[in-house]
Amino acid sequence: MEELKKRLQKELQQSLDCKVLAGQSWAFTAHKVLVSYTTVTKTKMDVLMKMMLMSVQQLSIERPDELAHLLGVELLFVEDLLSIMKGAGLLVNKGVWSITELGVSQLTTGMLLHETETEESVLVVSPLHNEFLDVEKSLTLQEDLHPFRYEEDPSRWATDDISTDSLQLELSALVELDNTSERQRVVEQVLKVEKIEQIQIPCFEFHIYNTNQDALYARIWNTFTEQWDETLEQLVHTNERSSWRERYLTKEEENIHET
């Protein structure tokens, strides 16, 4: 971690106009949660399935062999697809095969709706950011770090604090990663959200003075996202930046501009 801190400080001082006046390390708390939810998969109907649905819709079909003869395909294929579509609620057989409203709807869209499945995913949420973190690359803490000074008591956080809309969006983005034009999986319902553990995410904070612009500002490196964290920087600016000019720039001029 010390090597990373030195590299970041060197990067920040590449411009001769910028000087790092202070630096510190601390950690903020994020929460790992286990989410149980249901998904529905839609797959593109093949040509034979569409032809069978249209045939049943337009004709009086009593037996599978009639469909097989009409469409010129093996009876085994017809029987298998009839069983699948009956199980999916697209067709009913009451002496004569007939298409249901669901069957008409799915025939219109050309997508077959499969049975609901239950899935689980582990997500990482940061109350400070009020959002889910995109990646999971937290560095192992090599030392005890102070908690971030503007963080509320992590033990008071509950899964109920997660926005329903944001959770739905996060899960939808997760399942859509594998979607194609032939196969689409969508989130149907969130069943349960459980806390697994708290994780501490180290950050490096630097206070910088730009001599050319006469500006003071903070840069904060989030080791979890491996990026400069504008949310945390803005929080520090809001609470502290007004005091920095007196704190740092009352020093002797040569101390400010030394290289």
C-beta separation of 25 from 199 below 8 A = no
| pLDDT score of 230 more than 50 | yes
Higher pLDDT, 107 or 250: 107
| pLDDT score of 18 more than 60 | yes
Closest CA to 218 of 189, 243, 182, 198: 243
Residue 22 forms beta bridges with which residues? 207
C-beta separation of 235 from 128 below 8 A = yes
| pLDDT score of 236 more than 70 | yes
Q: Cα separation of 126 and 229, whole Å?
A: 12
Q: What is the reported pLDDT for 143?
A: 63
| pLDDT score of 91 more than 60 | yes
pLDDT tens for 123-175 read 999 999 999 997 666 555 556 899 999 999 999 999 999 999 999 999 999 99
C-beta separation of 197 from 138 below 8 A = no
pLDDT classification of 71: cutoffs 50, 70, 90: very high
Which domains does the chain possess? 2-37+117-257 (no CATH), 46-109 (1.10.10.10)
Instruction: State the average pLDDT for the chain.
Output: 91
Q: Could you tell me which residues come within 8 angstroms of residue 111 by beta carbon, excluding any fewer than 6 positions away?
A: 42, 43, 44, 45, 184
Residue 187 forms beta bridges with which residues? 39
Higher pLDDT, 142 or 104: 104
Q: Please, what is the Cα angle at 80 between 76 and 81, to 5 degrees?
A: 120
Which helix (H) or strand (E) segment holds residue 176: the answer is: none
How deeply is 98 buried, as exposed, middle or buried, from its count of CB atoms within 10 A (0-12, 13-18, 19+)? middle
| pLDDT score of 222 more than 90 | yes
Q: What is the reported pLDDT for 234?
A: 97
Q: What is the largest CA-CA distance in the chain?
A: 97
- What are the residue ranges of helices labelled H in the chain? 2-12, 47-58, 64-71, 75-87, 101-109, 164-175, 230-248, 253-257
Q: What is the reported pLDDT for 106?
A: 94
Residue 40 forms beta bridges with which residues? 186
